[in-house]
Amino acid sequence: MLKKWLKGSYALLLISILMISLAACNNSSSSEPKTTKVVKVRIAEVTRSLFYAPQYVALAKGFFKDEGLDVTLTTTPGGDKTMTTLISGAADIALVGSETSIYVYAQGSNDPVINFAQLTQTDGTFLVARNKIDNFSWDLLKGKTFLGQRKGGMPQMVGEFVLKKHGIDPHQDLTLIQNVDFANIANAFSSGTGDFVQLFEPTASIFEKEGKGYIVASFGKESGHVPYTTFMAKQSYMKENKATVEKFTRAIYKAQQWVQTHSAEEIAKAVQPYFPDTDFEIMKTVVDRYKSQGSYATDPILDEEEWNNLQNIMKEAGELPKEVDHKTLVNTSVAEGIMKK
């Protein structure tokens, strides 16, 4: 009897020890931090500009990091160089003008570049006059020398579109200079070339502050909504990395919402690390100018109306190689999905 009782007690003891051990294991595992796989994403941006403030907000505020993305940002000056970087596989995502995706598609690419998240929705350039003009009208450009942007790029096409809108033939009514590299346009104007110049910020505001020129008009206000700068990736990358693209787009959308609900000063302060050589007061002025004219897209969706406006501008400039349906080179499902959630 005693022997049977001892056997039963021993069994109960073993069961108790086992249960305590399992409980300890469960408690230990639950207290350990869960590890999330970090995915590296390489972005190639066409230029470093306050025009792209929401992108730098996403980096500075950790929105990419919150999504488990380790983002590396590289500036690859010029649309051609940026697109080459993307197509060659040296970047996963490019931030560049949507017109470049049309150029690539027209060349018969087997792996087209897809626009999936819009960042800016207007042109980002301004018309700067060498002399101060109190009552500006576009007719004042007639007979003058206009230092425009590189032929085939969105700034140049928008510039010509706006001139035609105001009854000015850019190739007949003025002297149009288009053979200066993007990086040297400001220096050329500063050295005395041209009566008017088309400039991005913060250069336009810096020129105004230094008395080298005066902002007289905004090409962004004049041209309406266009998918001026978007995030794009090769179709193959989007198929193989659906979760990453979704996380990336979600981070951008968070940044866009943050920009909409914060002041120009707060935005400038957030992105200041990316512009160490730019005066803070100039930064505030530039951000406020872009924000007030609606240049920053409020969500990542590139809609059909904007896409068609882009192609109309390209057609007017004689730079549209072929018309492309919105659904062929634009994916709105990612942005729509994250916005619904």
- Using one digit for the tens of pLDDT, what is the confidence trace for 115-137? 999 999 999 999 999 999 999 99
252 and 199, same structural domain?
A: no
Q: Supply the pLDDT for residue 321.
A: 95
Higher per-residue pLDDT: 341 or 121: 121
Q: Where are the beta strands (DSSP E) in the chain?
A: 39-45, 69-75, 93-96, 113-120, 125-129, 145-147, 175-177, 196-200, 214-218, 229-234
Is 14 a member of any domain? Answer: no
Q: Supply the pLDDT for residue 12.
A: 41
Residue 16's pLDDT band (boundaries 50, 70, 90)? very low
Please give the torsion angle defined by the CA atoms of residues 15, 18, 19 and 25, in that order, rounded to the nearest 10 degrees.
180
Specify the CATH number for the domain of residue 197. Answer: 3.40.190.10
Burial zone of 228 (CB within 10 Å; 0-12 exposed, 13-18 middle, 19+ buried): buried
Name 129's bridge partners: 196, 214
Say if strands 214-218 and 125-129 run parallel, antiparallel, or are unpaired. Answer: antiparallel
Instruction: Give me the number of domains the chain comprises.
Output: 2
pLDDT at 218 over 50: yes
pLDDT at 11 over 50: no
229 and 219, same structural domain?
A: no
Q: Which domain holds residue 60?
A: 39-122+225-340
Mean pLDDT of 303-328: 94
Q: Supply the pLDDT for residue 154.
A: 86
What's the pTM value of the predicted model, to 2 decimals? 0.85
Separation of alpha carbons 294 and 260, rounded Å: 10
194 and 176, same structural domain?
A: yes
pLDDT tens string 240-290:
999 999 999 999 999 999 999 999 999 999 999 999 999 999 999 999 999
Which residues contact residue 272 at a Cβ distance below 8 angstroms, ignoring those fewer than 6 apart?
280, 283
Q: Supply the pLDDT for residue 6.
A: 38
Separation of alpha carbons 70 and 93, rounded Å: 13
Separation of alpha carbons 265 and 267, rounded Å: 5
Q: Supply the pLDDT for residue 36.
A: 65
SS3 32: coil
Tokens standing for 328?
């062929």
pLDDT at 25 over 60: no
Average pLDDT, the chain: 90
Residue 1's pLDDT band (boundaries 50, 70, 90)? very low
Contact 267, 291 (CB under 8 A): yes
